[in-house]
Structure 1
Amino acid sequence: MDDLLRRRLEALGAGPLPDAMRYSALAPGKRMRPILALAAFRAAGGAGDAIYGPACALELIHAYSLVHDDLPDFDDDDLRRGRHTSHIVHGEPLALAAGFALLTEGLAWLGEAHGELSRDLLRTVTRAVGLGGMIGGQYLDLLCEGREPEPGELLRIHAGKTGRLIEAAVDTGALVAGADSRVRAGLARYAEALGLAFQIADDLLDALGVEGVTGKSMGTDAAAGKATFVSLYGLDGARRRAHEAAARGRVEARALRVRDDLLVQLADFVIERAH
């Protein structure tokens, strides 16, 4: 997938904007969303390499969200994936432009799928990005700065900021594989549980992680007055909720009765990871 991402971005040519896009999208990372798309594709009976383009498109869209999240008017972070954030290196105007360019390049890539599949992929992913997804979640996060939200508010924030694109990644795999409604529904339940476990684990890492291991600044949520699962439930309560969500994900993955256990492994990984 990294090779495919690199070829796609190198084809954009030289210049400050393509360079800024490559800087963020090709930085070392977990590639969690494309791997989830691949795992769901296999679980839904898919074979071959048709998933790789759509999966990599999701990574570009995720990279867009990170670039914009890190901007001073949002999370104001200066470290991401073990290197300075885009606006620190390139300045805010170019970072802003690079983020939008990564988003539109990812959407264009999804649009290259054949026939009705491109329509279905674009519908799934744009809903995950927009008002009911990442952008809406980021806005709610800003509104809640400096005050403690209700548990339901916190769930809505993180379902938007993190969960919706994880759910879209899993559904992308199902769509490319041609999964039926039963399999898609089971994968959707898995993705919802996994997204929650992933976000709680992120909150725990922000509170307890080591900067040199996580590759990003630690303690930034508390410093900004942001509510997290840790601030709301404490360390033990957050850990318990993360493990409960991951366990629900494993149950849903096993219910699909597929020979490939990558979905189960990913449910374990999200709560055991160090970055």
Structure 2
Amino acid sequence: MHNIKKCRVNPISFLVVSLFSATTVCAEGETINPNSDLTLNEDQPCLICQLSGSASLAYDSNLYDKDDYRSVRNLSWNGTLNYPVSEQLRAFITGGGYRVFQDKAGTYVTDTVVGLNYSNLFTFGETGRLGLGGQLTIPTSEASRDTELYTAFRLSVPVSFKMLGGNYSVSPRLRKNFYKYQTMNGRVLTEWVYSVSADGHYQFDKLTLGASLLGGNGTSYKGNRSREFNYAASVYSNYQISDSWLASFTVSSAGFYSDAERGTLGNLDLFDTDKASYIAQLTYSF
């Protein structure tokens, strides 16, 4: 008689798995019931039992009146699944969509991303840690399909450390786009994108306060570098409602300034009221 073991599948995690069409069978010939225990042979691991992830719902607005032509209002959703390949290596898949209520109203899908993250390539100092991440883009968004993007590969090297009671991270990133064509509608497409993501936050029991900054530039297939350095900045607060639920509020803004190597810094205004966006989000983690 075979030894058996049981694992319980959370109904919400089962729903997220279903959204990604990641159906896993724990034992041959058995079907998964999200509201019941799963029974499987001890020597046949239950992959779904090792999954973790999150599902989030967010609403963002620039606070203009809905009848104002400048008004921006969106409802977005996102799901992420993680699988621990080893103690330090994690595989993930993430995707989502959004509903636009102004201008080009409609429902859209974002690109889906699959990747691997190695959390601890090596350590330095008392708290420093360097990781390595790689991800592939599955072109499920309208923009990617319109430009006939095959895929994109992004490599990141996150560096994290603690200082003065806060947690900080800086992540240089390099992305290579693979398009069917090098030009589209008379426009040369971007081949390389290089960027830096930075974050710093402080935690007070269940409350977290932080700020983040993302900046980058790109090079076209003809080797021309963009004269504008794109960036986005945000300040945010997170409140841990329970072990599974997290509420967050973010104020973010995007802008640009001209490439310093080409002459001028231009106007650097992180919180231009015409571009600022206010985001309320609720996240369930499992």
Considering the TM-score relative to the shorter chain, is it more than 0.5? no
Q: Taking structure 2 as the reference length, what is the TM-score of the superposition?
A: 0.31
Q: Which has the higher helix share?
A: 1
Q: Taking structure 1 as the reference length, what is the TM-score of the superposition?
A: 0.31
Q: Which has the higher strand share?
A: 2
Q: Which has the larger radius of gyration?
A: 2
Q: Which has the higher contact order (CA 8 A, sep 6+)?
A: 1
